[in-house]
Chains A and B, each alone.
Chain A
């Protein structure tokens, strides 16, 4: 397998992990919205309410930065990161 194929394989792996986490915070938890809202969560808000106001939104911000860093590492590992002058 060529260097480029390996790079793509790892990139795809990272995509699946990223999408899985994305799925949990955008869809997964809202399948149990009614049940989860009975429980008191962060700062005293009901859990589901908190996720829709702040939790999921903040998780997406963190997820994107985490993803960007991981992808940069993968690019470096296979020598595909950009040179400064490009």
Chain B
């Protein structure tokens, strides 16, 4: 190919996408010729991971600005795709449709929160941080406020938030690898980890950027193809997003007809852990305004504080491109998020509507237990039925399912070929890997650049800096995998906590750093550490039986943390001296796109 790599990107990824679709077709043919389900699953995961590792190897680099910010030459649209993959984790891919399926409206606050946050990213932060020219988020804090303590505080908040998040992602990679490759979870976690490190170790941000684009393509095909296929197969509509109103209404009717019968506590004891029944209305408003809004707000402010997202906008060629790139990111995220409720609708209707051939409610227990897919998913501990009232037919309240099953099992329930299930496994793997890569890189870069290079050894040579960065990458990855292997907290819970931690400590110090000249070092340090401690305290308090206040739950503790952070930051800033002239000039320079970046190209 002529010309440089960047100019050829559309061609390169066009060929890649074509190749991937070709691979799906080959697998479909192989399935018809008798390839086993297990072999298809292994082929999908192994093939895609091999491609990512290849991209990671091709992107190897020995330059600091390529390693930390991909050489600042990632075009707008491709950075949008990379950010979307970085953003959409195993939780978005595997757990989100399940959450909507079980909890309906109250859960959909997450859809609004995880998209609305990008408006804050675009308008309050990303373009200004890009102008700043930093390598990491603590790099901005450390230079804007000055001093090692401010820089170090930012590293602490970043590490707490990102580490909480990354264990969940490695956990998700392990879950998928263990199902697809049929190996025990404890080993699968490390298989997942090695795949993750293959993408990021040699090329740093450059490697991660180009693998994330590749992973986005896999995950979006893997999510949309089944949704459209199922919708067409069920006769629900050619384009589900615009055509499922009747299905949504039908679910409402069926809910009325069956009613939500509450199960006795003794009966529920027999249900395996992690499985749930349908107890909430599908499309009706089932949460108070504040419960909905507080969760959405926490996720939005968390979005604008998470360093692994913010650092993606350091890689664009210009400030202008950074702004546009946020728009593209959200567009690519929108494609998946707007499909999740459709998948939940299709999945639920196909299971509960007695008029559909796939519906199981109202059938006898013997009939349901004879269905192939029921046996498979029951064995995988994701489905369960029990005849509580002893009448021999399955009622709505007697059917239980795991959240993951909505994405993983629906293709099989709808009667799609197994090749689609293999594709979905590859998509889930891509989603979890891409996010884990971004997170591990954010932590390792912050520690190697901000703690090692800026605080401990400012004279270190590039080769040594990058060696430290890579060693940290491996160490943090293994630490994450070890904790993930213990399976302490569910995937979704820890993801939400990460948002709350990030917003508690970083939201106001970042925003006010650009928008309030008077903000100074003392205020920022108080804001970061005070916010983090307050948020963590609230979480522990509520978890240990505290009643909480103002309806703030363990999922929204960031609202309390960030409020404390704001108050401390303003009060302490005003009580201490204002920033010096040079700092104020720096803020002025950050506010206009033209002119040199504050920090040099390589620093």
Interface set of A (CB-CB < 8 Å, partner B): 4, 7-8, 11, 14-15, 18-19, 22, 25-27, 30-34, 37, 43-46, 48-49, 51-54, 56-58, 60-61, 63-65, 67-68, 71-72, 75, 79-83, 86
Contacts and interface: CB of A to CB of B under 8 A. Distances in A.
B327 interface: yes
B241 interface: yes
Contacts of B112: 26, 30, 51-52, 56-57
Given A52-B105, A64-B119, A27 B245 contact: no
B319 A57 contact: no
Contact of A52 (B111, B244, B323, B588): B111
A37 B284 contact: yes
Interface string B97-140: 00000000100110111011011101110010000000000000
B71 interface: no
Contacts, number: 145
B373 interface: no
A64 B318 contact: no
Contacts of B401: none
Contacts of B287: 33
Interface residues of B, number: 54
Interface in B232-281: 241-246, 248-249
Given A4-B592, A86-B318, A64 B122 contact: yes
Given A30-B289, A37-B285, A22 B296 contact: no
B248 A18 contact: no
A81 B593 contact: yes
Q: Is chain B's binding surface mostly helix, strand, loop or mixed?
A: helix
B591 A11 contact: yes
A53 B330 CA distance: 14
A4 B122 CA distance: 21
B558 to A, nearest CB: 16
B246 A26 contact: no
B365 interface: no
B594 interface: yes
A56 B320 contact: no
Contacts of A68: 122, 320, 323-324, 326-327
A21 to B, nearest CB: 8
A44 B246 contact: yes
Given A45-B248, A54-B241, A57-B337, A31 B120 contact: no
Nearest to A52: B108
B455 interface: no
A46 to B, nearest CB: 6
A31 B108 contact: no
Interface in B276-311: 283-285, 287, 289, 292-293, 296-297, 300
Given A34-B285, A43-B242, A57-B112, A26 B296 contact: yes
Nearest to A83: B594
B331 interface: yes
A11 B243 CA distance: 41
Contact of A61 (B108, B319, B331, B593): B331
A14 B392 CA distance: 64
B563 to A, nearest CB: 16
B341 interface: yes
Contacts of A11: 591
B108 A57 contact: no
Given A33-B289, A61-B327, A64-B118, A49 B105 contact: yes
Contact of B326 (A15, A49, A51, A64): A64
Contacts of A71: 127, 323
Contact of B330 (A25, A31, A60): A60
Interface string B567-603: 0000000000000000000001001111110000000
Given A31-B289, A52-B111, 4 more contacts: A7-B592, A61-B331, A68-B327, A81-B593
Nearest to A8: B591
A22 to B, nearest CB: 4
B338 interface: yes
B99 to A, nearest CB: 12
A75 B131 CA distance: 13
A52 B330 CA distance: 15
Instruction: Please name the 6 residue pairs, one residue from A and one from B, whose CB atoms are nearest each other, closest first.
Output: A44-B245, A26-B116, A64-B327, A68-B323, A52-B108, A80-B592
A45 to B, nearest CB: 5
